[in-house]
Structure 1
Amino acid sequence: MKPQLSLPRKRRIHSWPVRICHWINVLAMIGMVMSGWGIYNADPLFAFTFPQNTTLGGWLGGNIAWHLAVMWLLAANALLYLVWGIFSDHFRRDFFPFSPRSVWRDTVRALTFRLPHKPGQYNAVQKLMYSGVLLLGALLVLSGLSIWKPVQFSGLVWLFGGFDIARYVHFFAMSGVLLFVIIHVLMVLLVPETFVAMLTGGKKISTEDHADE
């Protein structure tokens, strides 16, 4: 008998779970940020507030109600993404490995407009950013729980160094996520086909072509 040749498997650039979670996340993050700005305005941490027309809820009670409602949507979506990402090998395959050297190399390439775009393959800077935003998301959840239920989660409050510090952590973690979003949108504007791929899934690629360098 002739040995059977194993053909490389094909898959979409972005599978349907990634696309669904991505667009739910867009809507949820808009709701969380706008309602969160309204909550911030009621007791600012710094010498500025956000314009009222950029907030969601109309008043503090409404801000909090929206924030908590959207929080459950965001939490369910994040849980789905995490479970799928682990069991589908998405995280290991797409976000790792990367090293300080590879991040520096691809940063220089990007700044000099010499960074190649390979459909379905993240460069080292993207891997660092996606891994980092997942960590920021975890920090947002933990600090948010500390602010929401400081008595029930007193242990978390203690780990953050107190309620006030937990508020600062929450604010800066959200700022980090917003910075990620800004950079992400700029990259999409530079490579518009990535937007189409996130809508349609993009072309099918070979798993061999997707191997990390």
Structure 2
Amino acid sequence: MPTAPETTSAATLHPKSSHPRWLRLAHWLNALAVLVMVTSGWRIYNASPLFGFSFPKSITLGGWLGGALQWHFAAMWMLVAVSLFYLIINVVSGRLSRRFFPVSPKGFFHDLGSALQGRLGHADLGQYNQVQRVAYLFVMLDITVLVISGLVLWKSVQFPLLRELLGGYDSARYVHFIAMSLMVAFIAVHLVMVALVPKTLLAMIIGHKEHV
């Protein structure tokens, strides 16, 4: 007796994108905002350096202090708006708990060891390993610190509680600089990882389909 043909599920016919349009849009807008903020921030830093060095003018944005401030504030609003958009969608949709948790020290160091030995798989780009989860959660926290410390530097009188939580205006400058430096370090590592696994860049440009 002939068996009934296998049915094809809707998920097989219509694979789901692990990088939906809203995610790719938020990624590239935030990448632009961070690039503008970092390079204009370097020009602002040069006007009153915290340490015994300045950034080469050729890699800064704004030309002069006033111009750098305008670029910095414009990118700040983009970063805040896009980051809130990204966070709200992740929380409301449940994606935050699905993609970024659970995390544990044991799982993190296991995946880190596998990555350093080139044994970490990248077949499913929609599933984050624990190194990626920790890195992306760190970026969310770092952006929060950048925004809070930036508000203190911008409107110190209007945000006295934030100023005191950061130890005063001068301390907020160091917090802001350290948070910026950590962001630049993350970007550098991120670019190295993209170079090692080029298909992740393609997926963030055109999306990546996965069957669910």
Is TM > 0.5 for Structure 1 vs Structure 2? Answer: yes
Q: CA deviation at 1:8?
A: 8.0
Of 36, 41, 44, which aligns to 2:46? 41
Verify: 1:182 aligned to 2:188, yes or no: yes
Verify: 1:82 aligned to 2:117, yes or no: no
* Number of residue-to-residue matches in the alignment: 201
Of 67, 71, 74, which aligns to 2:76? 71
Provide the secondary structure at the position in 1 that maps to 2:211: strand
Alignment of 1:1-213 (within 5 A): 9=11, 10-119=15-124, 120-206=126-212
Moved over 3 A (4+): 7-10
For residue 69 of structure 2, what is the amino acid of its counterpart? I
> Quick check: 164-173 or 197-206, which moved more?
197-206
Q: Look up the match of 1:209.
A: none
Contact 1:19 1:198 (C-alpha < 8 Å) held by counterparts: yes
Distance 2:135 2:189 in 1: 10
Distance 2:108 2:123 in 1: 16
Q: CA deviation at 1:84?
A: 1.0
For residue 125 of structure 1, what is the amino acid of its counterpart? V
From the superposition, tell whether residues 170 and 98 of structure 1 become closer, same or farther in structure 2 (CA, over 3 Å): same
For residues 97-148 of structure 1, give each alpha carbon's deviation from its aligned partner in whole angstroms, at most 9, with x where no partner exists.
1100000101111111111113211111000000111011111111000110
For residue 129 of structure 1, what is the amino acid of its counterpart? A
For residue 174 of structure 1, what is the amino acid of its counterpart? M
For residues 155-175 of structure 1, give each alpha carbon's deviation from its aligned partner in whole angstroms, at most 9, with x where no partner exists.
111111110110100011111
Q: Where does structure 2 lack aligned partners over 5 or more consecutive residues?
A: 1-6
Distance 1:52 1:125 in 2: 35
For residues 166-207 of structure 1, give each alpha carbon's deviation from its aligned partner in whole angstroms, at most 9, with x where no partner exists.
01000111111111111111111111111111011112331x
The alignment yields a C-alpha RMSD, in angstroms, of 1.4
Q: Look up the match of 1:210.
A: none
Q: Where does structure 1 lack aligned partners over 5 or more consecutive residues?
A: 207-213
Distance 1:105 1:8 in 2: 36
TM-score normalised by length of structure 1? 0.91
Contact 1:38 1:50 (C-alpha < 8 Å) held by counterparts: yes
